[in-house]
Structure 1
């Protein structure tokens, strides 16, 4: 389980950061082909993704379809009166395979989750404990008989004059697993985040899961730099360009090796928006992603 501060309202609202009263989102990705020097849309790549939202804007169903339109996976979500995620159902080609139910306290902290894996009739339970600031401090994993099989503990270090976490420490079954560090600018924006795993002993610049962000004066992310993630033997820099109403219209992604040389051509993504300022096309030289949005 990843180091975390809390498990409050997790409700999949605006999963795609959508504006307006969205009812249905359909995502499809296509390859780009060049014929006789002209750029055309080719065959579909990967699954079709469909997100259905209820009247309150919460995602009620996510479906993945193959190229023939047949259902591959489906997830259904149910909420309580406070819009906390109450139930999650997972289907594999139409067959229910997993069910998770959640309990919450009076302020929306998740206190328990119950997992049922249908094919084997196996069950498990997870209990969550919080400190006075509503941050997770203990997570207990129990088997179907209530026996403790794993206990995760979290502790936090705060900046002296602010209620900002600058370090979290994660122990699993009594052993130190990882430490996570956070740095903020004077406007409270999270600018640096990185982890130290118990198995690693590497210099600062090579610490795992490192993300750095450069913000504009009005709080927009201008540059993101990522390094040290699993399977990532390079540093990736993303530069964001915005229009006059702060929609991202272009991303420039560059990957560097250890000696700061570019080892693949830079990748550039461009966005097109609808009247609600939701992007409906995302493209580069290799593919185009089309997002069809239906509104209430």
Structure 2
């Protein structure tokens, strides 16, 4: 889940005046999971820790309000829908603005072996804004993806290195010039859940380290972000409610015990 976690960590500096910024960053986290590949060859449902044969998800995130001892939903700040095929892979994602108009569409294309071949991002005005092409090694593992801008010019390339456990252990992110821009390294527990992410600059200098804890269903319950010198920057925690399949349908995210977002899901199964 790669870039997803670091985008959150860059902006989650927890003060009350920044709470709305944190809401938007946390929302972005879910959608960015669509282009993360740190779980190797699992399908999209498995990457997102979703159980059962899911056809469609509608996910709305709200600004939280506190009334006495209760945390309630405030203004809706963003809305996503995700469509899946019978194999558990994404067909299309739609990101809506807070006024319910379409902001972006993400359309997925697969090869004859069922592996993701392309991801196209289209603006609310139906303009191409991003194209990602995926390449695989002889073992069928994702080897690299290359991003192109709206003019068809290469923007960046990400190369993936795997461990003996079959999971991505390192990502190397290159600029269009070929210069190494960033390096991400991952550590997992015995259940193959991500427990630590480290981000390095192109020169090899450590920038951030993030640790994760999970519940017995594999959902992230805690995320701590540390600076390069080891000092704690932030702590996030998640509280969930679940449906009959064991998928969460409501998530309250807190920072330093203060609510920063409430996310609700409607899940439609095949």
- The structural deviation recorded for 1:282 is 1.4
CA RMSD across the alignment: 5.0
In structure 2, C-alpha distance between the alignment counterparts of 1:8 and 1:222, rounded to whole Å: 22
Instruction: Provide the secondary structure at the position in 2 that maps to 1:150.
Output: coil
Larger proportion of strand: 1
Asked whether the equivalents of residues 39 and 47 of structure 2 are also in contact (C-alpha less than 8 Å), the reply is: no
Deviating more after overlay: 64-73 vs 92-101 = 92-101
1:69 aligns with 2:88: no
Instruction: Return the structure number with greater relative CO, CA threshold 8 A, min gap 6.
Output: 2
- The structural deviation recorded for 1:178 is 6.7
Summarize the Cα distance change of 1:294–1:214 in structure 2 as closer, same or farther, 3 Å threshold: closer
In structure 2, C-alpha distance between the alignment counterparts of 1:199 and 1:126, rounded to whole Å: 18
1:290 aligns with 2:264: yes
- The structural deviation recorded for 1:28 is 0.8
Report Cα offsets for 1:94-132 as digits up to 9, x if no partner.
2222223333233213456554433x3435785969799
Report Cα offsets for 1:9-38 as digits up to 9, x if no partner.
475344431111111111112234466997
Matched residue pairs, number? Answer: 227
Identify the residue that residue 262 of structure 1 maps to in structure 2: none
Instruction: Provide the secondary structure at the position in 1 that maps to 2:239.
Output: strand
Identify the residue that residue 44 of structure 1 maps to in structure 2: 76
Q: Aligned runs of 1:121-160 on 2, under 5 Å?
A: 121-123=152-154, 149-150=177-178, 152=180
Q: Which runs of 5+ in 1 are unaligned?
A: 144-148, 153-171, 201-206, 239-252, 254-268
Report Cα offsets for 1:211-244 as digits up to 9, x if no partner.
3467999x99886543117xx9744456xxxxxx
Deviating more after overlay: 94-103 vs 56-65 = 94-103
In structure 1, C-alpha distance between the alignment counterparts of 2:101 and 2:252, rounded to whole Å: 25
In structure 2, C-alpha distance between the alignment counterparts of 1:57 and 1:209, rounded to whole Å: 32
Identify the residue that residue 225 of structure 2 maps to in structure 1: 226
TM-score by length of 1: 0.56
Summarize the Cα distance change of 1:11–1:77 in structure 2 as closer, same or farther, 3 Å threshold: farther
Asked whether the equivalents of residues 181 and 195 of structure 1 are also in contact (C-alpha less than 8 Å), the reply is: no
- The structural deviation recorded for 1:279 is 0.7
Q: Which runs of 5+ in 2 are unaligned?
A: 4-36, 254-258
Larger proportion of helix: 2
Deviating more after overlay: 96-105 vs 31-40 = 31-40
TM-score by length of 2: 0.60
In structure 2, C-alpha distance between the alignment counterparts of 1:131 and 1:272, rounded to whole Å: 34
- The structural deviation recorded for 1:79 is 1.7
Q: Aligned runs of 1:1-296 on 2, under 5 Å?
A: 9=41, 12-33=44-65, 40-45=72-77, 47-93=78-124, 94-110=126-142, 113=145, 115-118=147-150, 120-123=151-154, 149-150=177-178, 152=180, 194=198, 198=203, 208-212=207-211, 225-228=224-227, 234-237=232-235, 253=237, 269-283=238-252, 285=259, 287-296=261-270
In structure 2, C-alpha distance between the alignment counterparts of 1:188 and 1:270, rounded to whole Å: 22
In structure 2, C-alpha distance between the alignment counterparts of 1:34 and 1:138, rounded to whole Å: 40
Larger Rg: 1
